[in-house]
Amino acid sequence: MPSLENILRHENLPKEHRRIAEKVLHQERLTLEEGLYLYEHGELAFVGALANYIRECKHGNNTYFNRNFHIEPTNLCVYDCKFCSYSRLIKQRNDPDAWAYSLEEILDIVRRYDNQPVTEVHIVGGVLPQYDLAFYEELFRRIKAHRPELHIKALTPVEYHYIFKKAKISYEEGLRRMKEAGLDSLPGGGAEIFHPEIREQIAADKCTAEQWLQIHEIWHRMGGRSNATMLYGHIEKFWHRIDHMERLRQLQDRTGGFQTFIPLKFRNQNNQMSHIPESSAVEDLRNYAIARIYLDNFDHIKAYWPMIGRTLAQMSLAFGVDDIDGTIDDTTKIYSMAGAEEQHPALTTQQLVDLIRRVGRRPIERDTLYRVIRDYSDVVFEEDTAWRGYLELPVVNA
């Protein structure tokens, strides 16, 4: 990939390309119009070079991952998002693909990891009326009583808005009670596309963009950290993506509470939007790159490898991405049902480390708050169990 300096030396570089490249070089913020220009006219090599420059200024070769596991308590849901492949409406509770775990069953999943060095549990699923405020308070308390150091990253404004409204309490009061029960941070889900023109078509009824942003803002003001996502590659236009990122950038200016931005590629299997073709790998990489360039106040850009596959995740590390989530170990079906690349997503630490090293980056295990747990640059694994399906480049010393 050409370096930013080489790009600027190019005599035939279009004027607007040059202006944007110079702004990036001088760490100046892009306007809405410039962001849109990149989506409309930025070739992969150009936006990739800009994004990689920013990524390396911020993190060098460091590529972060964590050791976590996901629990989806239920796939029954009161909502009916058109892109959702895994949820079943509550009236379909007898569907063989439907599940709703009891509190004890969820705790059993947590206990399965007792002897494993995981640092985070990521809990998110459908919105089910019986999973109310008391249910989640009890769940978080019991998890903390069992394993106090395990970081609980759980639920999104979609659930919180529903639960707090039903309990007739304010967002502030609800989040305070969740925190007291053991909630540590919020994952980035439920954001989809903020603009009502799209949101009303694909995710009608659930929390609005304003409510999503308000809940994150209150959480940040309480000292909490959270992530943000964007579900792209369906019926939205480029300007909806920029509008989405602009709202996040403005909130981040006010609070600084977001840790990472996670673009989620729309997968089209088994949902009401299956007729829409999926975005190409080139478009996915361009999207990571433009997100890296536009969101100048976000520290991290994450590629969620189960959704896009390991090879594209490796490639994304040259297009602005510095985090590839974690070992995950997903016991349920939320992503495989949407047609994700990985049917049962799980990678061993060695496989993740190997995947990062093979594209010349430095694997760093982090906790949820991005504190370094271990630098794996020089770690030699005793047994070679690395998975050999992804990019096989000579190992470059990071």
Residues at the interface with ligand V47 (CB under 6 A):
83-85, 187-190, 192, 227, 229, 231, 262, 264, 266-267, 271, 304, 325, 338
Note whether 206 binds ligand SF4 by CB under 6 A. yes
- Distance in Å, CB of 247 to ligand V47, minimum: 16
The nearer residue to ligand SF4, 50 or 264, going by C-beta atoms, is 264
Matching residue, tokens 């029960």 = 181
DSSP 390: S
Interface pick for ligand SF4 out of 106, 123, 127, 152 (rule CB under 6 A): 127
Q: Give me the half-sphere count of Cα atoms (radius 13 Å) on the Cβ side of residue 156.
A: 21
Note whether 79 binds ligand SF4 by CB under 6 A. yes
**Which of ligand SF4, ligand V47, none does residue 262 bind to, with CB < 5 to 8 Å depending on kind?**
ligand V47
Taken as a whole, the chain contains a residue count of: 398
The DSSP line for 356-376 is HHTTT-EEEEE-TT--EEEE-
- Distance in Å, CB of 156 to ligand SF4, minimum: 8
Contacts of ligand SF4 in 21-60 (CB under 6 A): none
# residues near ligand SF4 by CB under 6 A: 10
The nearer residue to ligand SF4, 231 or 364, going by C-beta atoms, is 231
- Distance in Å, CB of 71 to ligand V47, minimum: 13
The nearer residue to ligand SF4, 80 or 296, going by C-beta atoms, is 80
List all residues 6 or more positions away from 33 whose beta carbon is below 8 Å from its beta carbon.
none
Distances (CA, A) of 141 to 144, 158, 284: 5, 21, 39
Note whether 87 binds ligand SF4 by CB under 6 A. yes
Task: Specify the DSSP element, H or E, that contains 247.
Answer: helix 238-255
Q: Give me the half-sphere count of Cα atoms (radius 13 Å) on the Cβ side of residue 137.
A: 13
Strands 258-265, 225-232: pairing is: parallel
- Distance in Å, CB of 157 to ligand SF4, minimum: 11
Contacts of ligand SF4 in 141-180 (CB under 6 A): 158
List all residues 6 or more positions away from 38 whose beta carbon is below 8 Å from its beta carbon.
20, 30, 47, 290, 293, 294
Q: Give me the half-sphere count of Cα atoms (radius 13 Å) on the Cβ side of residue 164.
A: 20
Note whether 126 binds ligand SF4 by CB under 6 A. yes
What's the CA gap between 240 and 209, in Å, rounded? 13
Note whether 370 binds ligand SF4 by CB under 6 A. no
Strands 120-123, 88-89: pairing is: unpaired
**Which of ligand V47, ligand SF4, none does residue 227 bind to, with CB < 5 to 8 Å depending on kind?**
ligand V47
- Distance in Å, CB of 229 to ligand V47, minimum: 5
What's the CA gap between 295 and 266, in Å, rounded? 21
Q: Which residues bind ligand SF4 (CB under 6 A)?
A: 77, 79-81, 84, 87, 126-127, 158, 206
